[in-house]
Amino acid sequence: MRPPAEQLPGRHTIMERHAAYPGFRAFVAERRGSFLAPTEVTGFAYGFHGARGQWWHDVVHQALTDLGGPDHAAEWLDDPFEVAELHVHPEHQGQGLGRALLTSLCEGRRERTVVLSTLDRRPDSPARRLYRSVGMVDLLTDFEFPGGGPRYAVMGAAFPLAPYAAAPSSP
């Protein structure tokens, strides 16, 4: 994501808080280096069990309640695994690494649903296509979190995630 340098201390604080949440799980993908080339991080993902009192959870719960009522919000957020971050270095995108990180992160989870937010620049972005390919649906679109910033789509799926179905090969 390459946030501005002045945002890094705040991002570190948020990630440290997330790491203390129940059910925290994280993965880092790396390309092994050699004597002359260092190991390179190519992607990372993490998530945790979402609950009331967590900022993202409470903001999204309210928005889902406003949209479809309390039962609608409960359907998605009463027992969620929240994917907080999933990033793949641009040079390594389109090679299945994001899918591998997401499926590893979600494998064996006991929660009922998985939810996340992703930039809502285009409904057909690679990230949105990935999330849809595992069964996620749009819960909120063109959503602005408090404090401004870019618009997001909030997406969710029931566990287990749908298995990946590769496109049929041409004859």
Question: Domain locations in the chain?
Answer: 5-158
The pLDDT assigned to 134 comes to 95
pTM check: above 0.85: yes
Tell me if residue 131 is catalytic. Answer: yes
Residue 7 gets which letter from DSSP? G
Q: Which of 21, 46, 131, 164 is catalytic?
A: 131
- Average pLDDT of each block of 10 consecutive residues along the chain (171 residues)? 77 93 96 78 96 97 98 98 96 93 97 97 90 96 93 97 64 43
The domain made up of 5-158 is a member of CATH 3.40.630.30: yes
Helices (H), the chain: 8-19, 55-68, 70-77, 97-106, 126-133
Give CA–CA dist 94/137, Å, rounded: 21
Beta carbons of 26 and 18 less than 8 angstroms apart: no
Give the residue from 150, 115, 155, 120 showing the smallest Cα distance to 3: 150
Give the residue from 42, 64, 61, 51 showing the smallest Cα distance to 17: 51
The pLDDT assigned to 26 comes to 97
